[in-house]
Amino acid sequence: MSERQSREERAAALRALLQKVQVAECWQPLDPSSYIDVAVRRWTSSGRRIKPSKRTPENQIRDLLRGFREAQSEEDLIYGEPGWLEHLAERFGAALLAADQADETAAPPSR
């Protein structure tokens, strides 16, 4: 399996996970579907923006929130509920952190 395939498979698994979070939360009227791709892209590339010594769950979620804010359209700003993006970043971040921890425990130890 190539590295690209494994990244694509990981991204697909994260998208599916975030869609489950969306369904479980019954989010309406603000639909986070458009933010799922942003979250996956931002989460999988956070290593380039966050130094290893600063890589904490709080900084990862903060980076996720920054990505959501950058992806917002003007229409979202007008109709967005206060605190919506913070809530979205916390819920998606928690799910993504749990997925990362599950992957770490399932991975065989490296030599």
pLDDT in tens, 70-105: 988 766 665 566 787 888 899 889 988 988 888 878
Q: What is the pLDDT of residue 109?
A: 58
- pTM for the whole structure: 0.71
Mean pLDDT of 49-70: 92
Mean pLDDT of 33-54: 88
Distance CA 57, CA 74 (A): 29
Distance CA 41, CA 49 (A): 12
Question: Does the structure show a pLDDT above 50 at 1?
Answer: no
